[in-house]
C-alpha cells in the first residue's frame, strides 16, 4: 500500500501526458450533445471521486450532478429515464454489476456514456461508449490509493478539456510535483498516528471541493485502522451531529485556503474553544494549522479545484500509519477483498 501511495506522482504524470488527446475527443463528444445534467454511478472509494466530480463539474461548468442509486435498477428493476443526461461510471476494477448496470441502461437509452476504470477490458469499460483508462498499473493493496487519485486526475482532465483554459492546463502540470511533496509529510504523519493509536472513533470534516477528501480519508480509517470515522460537510455537521463532540473527541479537518476556509475555521474554533475537541487540521495555511492539537500540511499554490488530488495523500498516509500504530497490518484488512461485486 505504501508503495502505491508513493507511485501516485508517476500515475498522475502518465495520465496527464498520455490521455490528453483521448480526453479531448470525449470532451468534444460531450460538447456536441450538450447534456442538461450528469449521473455518476460508483461505489466505495470511486463514489468519492464522483463527489469530487459533483463539485468540479458543478463549479466549472454549471452542470448539476446526480449520484446514482444503483439499487433502483438492480433490486427494483426500474431504469431511470436518462433523457439529455451524460452518464459516467467510475470503478477501479470496472467489475461491480450494479455500477455496470446503470451505464448499460443509459447507453441502451441512447445517452452519452463514459467509463473511468483501471482496466480497459473490464465490463464497465466494455459497456460505455467512451473510456478513460487510468493506466495506473495493477493495484494490489486492498485499500485503493493510486486509482483514487487517478480517477480525480481523469475528472480534472475532462473538466479542463470541456472549457479549455491555459491557466487550468498549466496548473494540471503542477500535480505530479505537488503529489510528491505531499508524501514529504510522512514523518509528521507517523508522529500524529503514534499519538492517536488508541482512537476508536472520530469525525472528519470538509466542505465543497474538500468534502471528497473528508469522505475518502474516513473510509481509509474505517477499512484499515477500524476507526469509526464519520465524514461530514461542515454545513450538515451543524444540523445535529455537532452535539456529539465532547472534550477529547477527535475531529479531523480538511481545511485548505479558498472558498471554504472561513467556514471551516469558524467551526473548528468553536469545536476547540467551546467543546474541547482534539483537532487534527490538514491545511496549506499555517494559521489554520495552528488551530490543531496536531496539524499536517497540504502543498501550497495549487488552484482550489485541484487541491483534493493532493490533500488525500496525507489522509492515506495517516490511515496507513495509524493502522501500524495499532499493531494491525494495512495489507490484510479483515473481512474485505480487493474487488467487491455488489448487486
- State the catalytic residues: 338
Binding mask 98-137 for its own copies (x = CB under 8 A): x---------------------------------------
By CB atoms closer than 10 A (0-12, 13-18, 19+), residue 254 is buried
Q: Tell me the closest approach of the beta carbon of residue 343 to its own copies, in angstroms.
A: 7
**Of 137, 236, 257, 293, the one binding its own copies by CB under 8 A:** 236
**146-162 vs 307-325: helix crossing angle, rounded to 10:** 170
d(CA 35, CA 42): 20
Told to check if 67 binds its own copies by CB under 8 A, we report yes
**Which residues inside 189-208 make contact with its own copies, applying CB under 8 A?**
200-201, 203, 207-208
**Of 82, 148, 294, 320, the one binding its own copies by CB under 8 A:** 82
**Which residues inside 210-229 make contact with its own copies, applying CB under 8 A?**
219, 222-224, 226, 228
Q: Tell me the closest approach of the beta carbon of residue 203 to its own copies, in angstroms.
A: 8
Report the run of H or E that residue 116 belongs to, with start and end. Answer: strand 112-117
Angle at alpha carbon of residue 6, lines to 4 and 11, rounded to 5°? 75
Q: Tell me the closest approach of the beta carbon of residue 326 to its own copies, in angstroms.
A: 12
Full strand arrangement of the beta sheet holding 112-117: 65-67, 37-41, 85-91, 112-117, 130-133
Report the run of H or E that residue 40 belongs to, with start and end. Answer: strand 37-41
Residue indicated by cell numbers 499519538: 195
Binding mask 137-156 for its own copies (x = CB under 8 A): ------x-------------
Q: Tell me the closest approach of the beta carbon of residue 161 to its own copies, in angstroms.
A: 19
Q: Which of 23, 55, 310 is nearest to 174 (CA)?
A: 310
Cβ nearer to its own copies, comparing 54 with 185: 54
SS3 label, residue 200: coil
The number of residues that bind its own copies (CB under 8 A) is: 70
Q: Is residue 152 a contact partner of residue 92, using CB atoms and an 8 Å limit?
A: no
Contact set with its own copies (CB under 8 A): 36-37, 39, 43-45, 47, 54-55, 58-59, 62-72, 75-76, 78-85, 98, 143, 200-201, 203, 207-208, 219, 222-224, 226, 228, 230, 233, 235-236, 238-246, 259-260, 263, 274-275, 333-336, 340, 342-343
Amino acid at each position: 500500500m505504501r508503495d502505491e501511495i508513493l507511485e501516485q506522482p508517476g500515475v498522475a504524470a502518465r495520465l496527464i501526458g498520455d490521455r490528453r488527446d483521448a480526453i479531448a475527443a470525449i470532451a468534444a463528444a460531450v460538447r456536441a450533445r450538450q447534456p442538461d445534467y450528469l449521473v455518476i454511478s460508483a461505489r466505495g472509494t470511486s463514489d468519492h471521486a464522483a463527489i469530487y466530480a459533483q463539485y468540479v463539474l458543478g463549479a466549472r461548468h454549471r452542470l448539476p450532478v446526480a449520484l446514482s442509486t444503483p439499487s433502483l435498477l438492480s433490486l427494483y428493476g426500474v431504469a431511470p429515464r436518462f433523457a439529455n443526461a451524460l452518464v459516467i461510471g467510475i470503478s477501479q476494477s470496472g467489475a461491480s454489476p450494479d455500477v455496470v448496470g446503470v451505464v448499460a441502461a443509459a447507453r441502451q437509452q441512447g445517452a452519452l456514456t463514459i467509463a473511468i476504470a483501471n482496466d480497459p477490458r473490464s465490463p464497465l469499460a466494455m459497456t460505455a461508449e467512451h473510456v478513460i483508462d487510468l493506466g495506473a498499473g495493477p493495484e494490489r493493496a486492498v485499500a485503493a490509493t493510486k486509482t483514487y487519485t487517478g480517477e480525480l486526475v481523469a475528472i480534472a482532465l475532462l473538466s479542463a478539456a470541456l472549457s479549455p483554459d491555459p491557466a487550468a492546463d498549466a496548473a494540471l502540470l503542477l500535480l505530479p510535483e505537488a503529489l510528491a511533496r505531499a508524501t514529504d509529510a510522512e514523518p509528521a504523519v507517523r508522529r500524529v498516528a503514534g499519538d492517536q493509536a488508541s482512537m476508536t472513533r472520530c469525525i472528519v470534516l470538509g466542505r465543497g471541493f474538500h468534502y471528497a477528501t473528508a469522505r475518502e480519508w474516513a473510509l481509509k480509517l474505517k477499512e484499515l485502522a477500524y476507526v469509526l470515522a464519520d465524514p461530514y460537510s461542515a454545513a450538515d455537521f451543524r444540523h445535529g451531529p455537532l452535539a456529539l463532540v465532547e472534550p477529547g473527541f477527535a475531529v479531523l479537518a480538511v481545511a485548505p485556503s479558498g472558498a471554504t476556509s472561513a467556514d471551516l475555521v469558524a467551526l473548528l474554533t468553536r469545536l476547540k474553544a467551546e467543546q474541547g475537541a482534539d483537532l487534527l487540521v490538514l491545511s496549506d495555511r499555517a494559521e489554520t494549522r495552528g488551530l490543531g492539537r496536531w496539524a499536517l500540511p497540504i502543498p501550497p499554490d495549487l488552484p482550489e479545484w485541484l487541491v483534493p488530488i493532493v490533500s488525500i495523500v496525507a489522509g492515506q498516509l495517516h490511515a496507513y500509519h495509524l493502522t501500524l500504530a495499532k499493531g494491525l497490518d494495512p495489507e490484510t484488512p479483515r473481512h474485505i477483498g480487493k474487488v467487491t461485486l455488489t448487486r
